[in-house]
Amino acid sequence: MDDSTGSQNKPKYKRIVLKLSGEVLRNTEDGEPIDARTLKAICEEVKKVYDIGVQVGLVIGGGNIFRGLSGSEMKGVDRTTGDYMGMLATVINGLALMDCLEKLGVTVRLQSAIPMDKLAEPFIVRRATRHLERGRVVIFAGGTGNPYFSTDTTAALRASEIGADMLMKATKVDGIYNKDPAKYDDAVRYDHVPYIDALRERLQVMDSTAFSLCMENNLPILVFSMKEPGAIYRAVMGAPIGTLVD
C-alpha cells in the first residue's frame, strides 16, 4: 500500500506503542552503537504514521550500548547495577531518536522512569496521554525504573497504561516462528498466535512477563520485521504483516 492510498483511508490503529531493539541502531560494519543512516531511516518510518494522525509511543532497548543481563554474566557487573546501566543506555538512545525526529519536523517528548530533569520529563501517565492527544510522539526511556524488568515488559506496561490499541514489536525477522529461522530451514512462521500458546511454547520473541501483561489487559501484539520499508505504515493500516498475538 502506498502513501497516496493510505491518505485516503483511516489507519486501523489510532494509538500504538512501537518497541524497538537497541541493536537495530548498531552499525554492523564498524560496531558503532548508533548508526546515523539507520537512525534516520527508522525516524522516517515513524514520521509516516505520525503524519497520518497515529498517536505514537516509542520504547527502545539499550542493547547496542549495554545489556544488563549479559553484562552481569559476561563482564562481572552485578545484575542490579547492570540493569540500571542498561536503563541509562535506553535514555541515550531515546535522546538520539528525539533529536532525529525533531529534525524531521516531528514534535517529541522524552519521558524517563528514572528522574533526570535535565534530559527528560518524568514519566507520568496523564502527561504522556495528553502529549499523545496533542499530536506529540512520546519516547518512554529508563525502562520501568526497576531492575529485573526487560524493555519488552516496559513496552507492555506503557502500552497498557496509555490505553494503546496495539503493541508493535519491530524485530530482525518477519514474525514469530516455531524455531529459529536463521538456524533451521524448516522453521514455520505463524500468522496468528494466541497469548496462551505463546506462553506455553515459550516463544522467545518477548519475555513471559510482557506476554502475560498483554494477555491480562487484552492488548494485541504485532511482531514484524523492520527491514521492510513501510512496514510500520502498513501495520497501522491493518495490512496482513508479521505475526499477531491476541
221-225 and 243-245: which strand pairing? Answer: antiparallel
d(CA 103, CA 153): 29
Q: What distances in angstroms separate CA 211 from CA 37, 111, 114, 154, one per listed residue? A: 32, 23, 24, 11
Cα torsion angle, 28, 31, 33, 35, sign:
negative
Q: Is 13 annotated as a binding residue?
A: no
Residue 227: predicted pLDDT: 81
- Average pLDDT (131-151) is 96
How much is the average pLDDT of 48-61? 96
What are residue 244's DSSP bridge partners?
A: 192, 222
67 is in an annotated binding site: yes
Residue 188 has pLDDT above 90, yes or no: no
Question: Domain segments of the chain: what residues?
Answer: 3-245
pLDDT bucket at 4, cuts 50 / 70 / 90:
very low
Q: Is 147 annotated as a binding residue?
A: yes
> What is the structure's pLDDT at 72?
53
Annotated ligand binding at 211? The verdict is no
Q: Is the pLDDT of residue 159 over 80?
A: yes
Q: What angle do CA 93, 228, 68 make, to 5 degrees?
A: 30
| 72-112 pLDDT tens trace | 555 678 888 889 999 999 999 999 999 999 999 999 999 99
Residue 197 is labelled as binding a ligand: no
Q: Is 233 annotated as a binding residue?
A: no
pLDDT > 90: percent of the chain? 59
Whether 123 has a binding-site annotation, put simply, is no
Higher pLDDT, 31 or 58: 58
Q: Does 160 belong to an annotated binding site? A: no
The answer to whether 62 touches 151, Cβ cutoff 8 Å, is yes
Does the annotation list 208 as a binding residue? no
Q: Give the chain as a 3 state SS string.
A: CCHHHHCCCCCCCCEEEEEECHHHHCCCCCCCCCCHHHHHHHHHHHHHHHCCCCEEEEEECCCCCCCHHHHHHHCCCCHHHHHHHHHHHHHHHHHHHHHHHHHCCCCEEEEECCCCCCCCEECCHHHHHHHHHCCCEEEEECCCCCCCCCHHHHHHHHHHHCCCCEEEEEECCCCEECCCCCCCCCCCEECEECHHHHHHCCCCCCCHHHHHHHHHCCCCEEEEECCCCCHHHHHHCCCCCCEEEC
CATH superfamily for 3-245 is Acetylglutamate kinase-like (3.40.1160.10)
List the grid coordinates of 133.
492527544
pLDDT at 75 (0 to 100): 61
218 labelled as ligand-binding? Answer: no
For residues 235 and 224, the answer to whether their CB atoms sit within 8 Å is yes
* Residue-wise pLDDT tens digits, 15-49: 999 999 888 888 878 878 999 999 999 999 999 99
In angstroms, rounded to a whole number, what is the distance separating the alpha carbons of residues 56 and 3?
Answer: 18
| pTM reported for the whole predicted model | 0.91
